[in-house]
Chains A and B, each alone.
Chain A
Amino acid sequence: MADLAQDLARLQTASENPRAQLDYYLKQGKKVIGCFAPYTPEELVHASGMIPFGLWGGHTDLKLTKSYLPAFACSVMQANMELGLKGAYTGLSAVIIPAICDTLRCMTQNWRFGVTSIPMIPIVYPQNRTSPASVDYLISEYETVLTMLSTITGMMMNEKALCETIKIYNEHNRTMREFAVTANEHLDIITPQVRHAVFKSAFFFEKSEHTAILREIIEELKTRPVYDWPGKKVILTGIMCEPDQILDFFTENKIAVVGDDLAHESRQYRIDIPEMGGGGLKRLALQWNARYGCSLIHEIGKPRGAMLIRMCRDYGAAGVVSCMMKFCDPEEYDQPYYEVDLNKAGLPYVTIEIDQQNASYEQIRTRIQTFCEMI
């Protein structure tokens, strides 16, 4: 029987020390491709026999990046650039950068000229997804990515490998969703920090390996009696909720995270790749067109508020914590509307500012305390 504590510790370790995870794959002779936040076609990397590795910033002293980015670029991109410039990503065969916001447009170029030792592969996702032509366009973007990846492997990806990868990714999606639901019955074990570590670690594992560990965790949890959480429950929304100190404040105040709308976490797993309906590339493009509720993907009607209200109802959450990534304009445009919607629904919310490079989080601690009293 697998050991729940060991499995969780393994994911926790990976999420705390991604470099060790990167070295683990490099030692196996694998090629690893850095995948910038928030979305990249990881499946193409996987199907090409390489390891996709998430690059979502991290805590680091910002020095070198100041020659590339102004102070008002978000901390994730500041950290990615800093880590790239100081050599922390040595070993990556390339990075894929999606030009999905204004800062990321520029990141493609900053990386290209700043981190010349690691080639940059750009991808530009379509935003007018109601246009039927967006599918063919996105397929062509995928093909460009594949061509660039093939210069690293010296091999062309084939359809069979892609179909196999799609199965692995869909299985991982389903398992992540199942974990999120199962976790809510064991909030004594799956604390906000543990939940976050499970989600974050997914970016640092080959997906079938991550699924295998997750399956053991889920099975172990299911053998335990349902825990009746006596504290309060919330939903998180935003890009990400890091570092762990912030999550500690939730625990301190007996607040459990029972669902999230974070780009770093559940937004990744909402939509599967269609099982049918064409070749692998087309089905991947159709998955993109079906994604919803993300500030970085154009949608009419500002649907996030309604989605968050639904999530609160479904998971019994008393309110929403808006984890506002500092200087993230796509999120800043969504916020006024989901706040209005939450207000109308009588659901309390609080905004905490996320900056990976912050030295002090006392203000956030106070906000969470106050919010806890409110709900």
Chain B
Amino acid sequence: MSEMEKTPVLSAADQAAPAPKPKRPKAKSLLMIGEQTNTLFENARLAKERGEKVGWSASIFPQEIPETLGLNILYPENHAAGIAARHQADPFLQECEGPLGYSNDLCAYAKLNLAYAAVLNGESAVEFPDGGKMVKPDFLLLTNNICNQLTKWYENLARQMNIPVFFIDTCYNPCDYVTETRVRYVRSQIDQLITDLCAFTGKTWDEARFREVMEISQRNSYLWERANNLMDHKPAPIGGFELFNYMSAMVCNRGKKSTTAIMEQLNAEMEEHIRQGTSTFPVEEEYRVSWDGIACWPYLSHNLRTLKKYGINMVASSYGKAWAIEYDDLDGMARAYCFASTNGDNATTMLSRRLEALKKFDCEGTIYHVNRSCKVMDCQMMEIQRQLSEMAGVPFTSFDGDQADYRNYSEAQFETRIQGLVEVMKQNKEAKCNG
């Protein structure tokens, strides 16, 4: 039989159908992120095998400290987001709310992680979807700049696994600035934490290494913010949701050179798109919006599909930039970590940051994620919506969702709300065009 004969014969219908759209190759920066994430977990596993102590950390902890000490740290929030995004959360949520006795009301990142920890601890038998790559910790690093639930979550992990918590209480900021007394309190805790962590892990603090890590971290923060800022071009060089993919570099690897390489690559890719007048956003950018709140990880693709349908690109987010943390010494570090997350800041600060973003990125609307996991984000959101919309003259919509619990979302509601927002944005656009 000749080679020609082996070729399958296409039916008339097949021949009439358009050729399948070739899948866009992954950007190099994204491949680099994948490698970096694998390395993070692999290094932690190897460290554990060598008998070294491995830690788990809150996501806006001064990561430069364990990095200086050469410790391997994993991040439960980031890990939980990954599990949720891959639709693997269910057995963990069930385990947590069932045998472990936790309330459904709690943060889904916490519920997921507490159940995962119970498996690591031999108390539960849920099958790991990832081979248990989040290895069992020997200590915990905690800050409460994101929320107070983290404090309680880590209290429970500490008791569950009988391990110490190294805690920096960053204090909520009711003032428009971080008071000097907060800086002193936090700085003192940082000093104590370094001493205690060295004693616990047997590591030694090296000031020169710290300076080096701090510089890397500062460079990374700069590059991350720069990449975020490149979204001000029209059309934006990438689809805004893609930036969520790079957050692990800033959350888990902020003080590493590998992140510098990723961030430089990302900036270069975005600049190239700007030069070419192209974008990875798959359709024409009709509307530019900001996204308020954590990504709705379990439904990211549904969110994106719906937004794409109307040509809505998310060009600004209140969330990712929390990891662009700038400072140049330990006092500065104390101040920066108190002020990093808008969850820890008063409404005035929150409003001014959001207003600046709406203007800078020329947003035509805001989408608020009423994240059932996150009371600190939701409980003042309505007041923020009212004030921000009035200040910026930009409409908004909100939808019910969750950062990790797939049960708290309705596709129909999301679609209806976005449709409603589009109608208002369209009217505004037309009014603008008509003068």
Contacts and interface: CB of A to CB of B under 8 A. Distances in A.
Given A73-B375, A133-B188, A332-B106, A108 B169 contact: no
A137 B103 CA distance: 34
A137 B185 contact: yes
A137 B387 CA distance: 32
Contacts of A114: 383
Contacts of A132: 188
Interface in A125-169: 126-128, 131-134, 136-137, 140-141, 144
Interface stretch (B3-11, B59-67, B143-151): B143-151
Contacts of A299: 155
A112 B347 contact: yes
Contact of B156 (A124, A133, A333): A333
Interface string B147-172: 11101110110110000010111011
Interface residues of A, number: 53
Interface in A83-127: 99-103, 105-110, 112-114, 122, 124, 126-127
Interface stretch (B77-85, B176-184, B314-322): B176-184
Nearest to A107: B379
Contacts of A337: 156, 159
A185 B169 CA distance: 43
A110 B380 contact: yes
A276 interface: no
A199 interface: no
Contact of B379 (A102, A113, A133, A141): A102
Nearest to A77: B379
Interface in B43-90: none
Contacts of A126: 169, 171, 185
A298 B155 contact: yes
Interface stretch (A17-25, A63-71, A172-180, A211-219): A63-71
A38 interface: no
Contacts of A128: 167-169, 189
A329 interface: yes
A102 B375 contact: yes
Contacts of B144: 127
Contacts of A136: 181, 184-185
A29 interface: no
B205 interface: no
B165 A300 contact: yes
A335 B155 contact: no
Contacts of A127: 144, 148, 151, 167, 169
Contact of A72 (B172, B185, B375, B381): B375
A279 interface: no
B169 A99 contact: no
A181 to B, nearest CB: 31
Contact of B106 (A131, A329, A339): A329
Interface in A179-238: none
B370 interface: yes
Contacts of B346: 108-109
B131 interface: no
Given A70-B370, A72-B372, A110-B383, A332 B189 contact: no
Interface string B165-207: 1011101101000010110110011001000000000000000
A113 B347 CA distance: 9
Interface in A333-347: 333-337, 339-340
A330 interface: yes
A329 B383 contact: no
B122 interface: no
B105 interface: yes
Contact of B103 (A70, A73, A103, A332): A332
Contact of A106 (B106, B158, B168, B379): B379
Contact of A302 (B155, B167, B181, B378): B155
Contacts of B382: 67-70
Contacts of A140: 179, 181
Contact of B188 (A69, A131, A330, A336): A131
Contact of B185 (A134, A144, A340): A134
B152 A99 contact: no
A124 B375 contact: no
B376 interface: yes
A324 B105 CA distance: 12
A99 B174 contact: yes
A40 interface: no
Given A109-B347, A137-B182, A335-B103, A298 B380 contact: no
A295 interface: yes
Interface in A7-54: none
Contact of B375 (A106, A109, A141): A106
Nearest to A330: B152
A71 to B, nearest CB: 10
Interface string A276-311: 000000000000000000010011111000000000
B100 interface: yes
A108 B148 contact: no
Given A72-B372, A105-B376, A335-B103, A329 B169 contact: no
14 contacts: A68-B380, A73-B375, A101-B148, A102-B147, A105-B148, A109-B383, A113-B387, A124-B172, A127-B148, A140-B179, A298-B167, A332-B102, A332-B105, A336-B102
Given A70-B382, A131-B192, 7 more contacts: A102-B148, A105-B376, A122-B174, A131-B169, A133-B184, A133-B185, A335-B101
Interface of A: 67-70, 72-73, 99-103, 105-110, 112-114, 122, 124, 126-128, 131-134, 136-137, 140-141, 144, 295, 298-302, 324, 326-327, 329-330, 332-337, 339-340
Interface pairs A-B: 9 shortest CB-CB: A106-B379, A133-B188, A122-B174, A140-B181, A333-B152, A137-B185, A128-B169, A102-B376, A106-B380
